[in-house]
Amino acid sequence: MKNIFAILIIIAGLGSCVTKTDKADKDNFNGMDFPNFQEHNNGLANFPQNKDTLIINVEFSDCGEWGGHKEFIKLFRNSENRLIGELKVDSISCKSIKDYENYSDLDDNSRKIVKTIVKELDVEDEKLVNLFIHRILELKLNYELQITEEEKEEIIPIFIDSGKVIEIRNSNSTFLIDYFNMDESANTWYGKIRKEIFGLKI
């Protein structure tokens, strides 16, 4: 339970919803609904603790309605209590469609890990992760900020690095945020933590 309270304190921003996301700028963390959050962002504090892991799962839509490749970030503390981040990227052929009883989907057994990056995170990295979690919570609560269909069509190419299905949880799922990014139309800022922390571009 302490872990849940810790992460809720981390992602709780002070202030109220006053602005709409600047969809033209995917390189900066601006236009947040809680404008005072950034100045109160102290990183991840002691979360996750030694026996816990924060897991970020992101699926893209390389294969259209079937989904696409997945990326996994695990954040955990080593024996010296330093925060370690591990990013894994898989690959899957869009021809790997498997028929189930009532639906068809990509066959997860066909996935192959093609890249693994491990890094010790510093305070600035922690702040980026914190902002990302906060951003997903905002989008979850605001349901894509209620943008119009016309706006969605305009910004799909801009935010192709945002991911389609995003899940953030701890080891036993006592903390869980899941967000379905409709057609990758909202800037989740996943592309920024991917690039800034792990040096990996789309």
Supply φ then ψ for residue 138, to 5 degrees: -60, -50
| pLDDT over 90 (residue 147) | no
Q: Give the domain range for residue 67.
A: 2-198
| pLDDT over 90 (residue 90) | yes
Domains identified in the chain, total number? 1
Q: What pLDDT score does 1 carry?
A: 47
Supply φ then ψ for residue 34, to 5 degrees: -110, 90
| pLDDT over 70 (residue 199) | yes
* % of the chain at pLDDT higher than 70: 64
Q: How confident is the model at residue 27 (pLDDT cuts 50, 70, 90)?
A: very low
Q: What pLDDT score does 183 carry?
A: 64
| pLDDT over 50 (residue 52) | yes
Q: What is the pLDDT of the chain when averaged over all its residues?
A: 75
**Predicted TM-score (pTM) of this structure:** 0.72
Determine the average pLDDT of the residues in 129-133: 89
19-28, 34-43, 106-115, 185-194: the lowest-pLDDT one: 19-28
Distance (Å, rounded) from C-alpha 62 to C-alpha 194? 18
